Structures are given as C-alpha cells and as structure tokens.
Amino acid sequence: MMDLLDDLEQKILLSKETIELQEIEIEELRAQNEELSAVADENLVLKANQARWEERLGSLMRHFKEESEEDDEEEEEYEGEQVTA
C-alpha cells in the first residue's frame, strides 16, 4: 500500500513540475506573440509610408515628364520659327 502511495506522490510531483514548465513556456510564447504583434503593426505603418512615398515619387516623375514634354514642344516651335525666318 505504501508503494502505491509513493508512486502516486511521484506522479503528482511530476505532473506539478510539468504544469509549471508549461506555464513558463506559455508566458514566453505570449511575450513572443506580443513582440510579433508589435513588429506586424510597425510593418503596416512602414508599408503605408512606403505607399505614400511611392505615390509622391510617381507624381513628381509625371510632373517632370510633363515639363520635359512642354520644353520639347517649345523647343520645336522655336526651331520652326528659326527655319522660317
């Protein structure tokens, strides 16, 4: 009977240790999850910033292209006037 109680006590102690280790692991995983969540949030902000900058850059490039085309047209008109003069 005493051996049975000793075995039961050992199983209880082992179970308690297992539970404590799993609780520690759960806390570590929660901390990692919080870090990953923060990184994911930062990633969303950075992607939004990138999209805004890409839009600005595209707008500037379109503006420069339009300016360049206008300059080319003015230059062609000026050259045409020089030929007829």
Select the more confidently predicted residue: 76 or 33.
33
Of 34, 11, 12, the C-alpha closest to 26 is 34
In angstroms, rounded to a whole number, what is the distance separating the alpha carbons of residues 16 and 82? 98
pLDDT band at 76 (very low <50, low <70, confident <90, very high): low
Structure tokens, 54: 């890409």
In angstroms, rounded to a whole number, what is the distance separating the alpha carbons of residues 85 and 77? 12
Terminal Cα-to-Cα distance of the chain (whole angstroms): 124
In angstroms, rounded to a whole number, what is the distance separating the alpha carbons of residues 49 and 57? 12
Give residue 10's pLDDT: 98
Given a cut of 70, whether residue 78 has pLDDT beyond it is: no
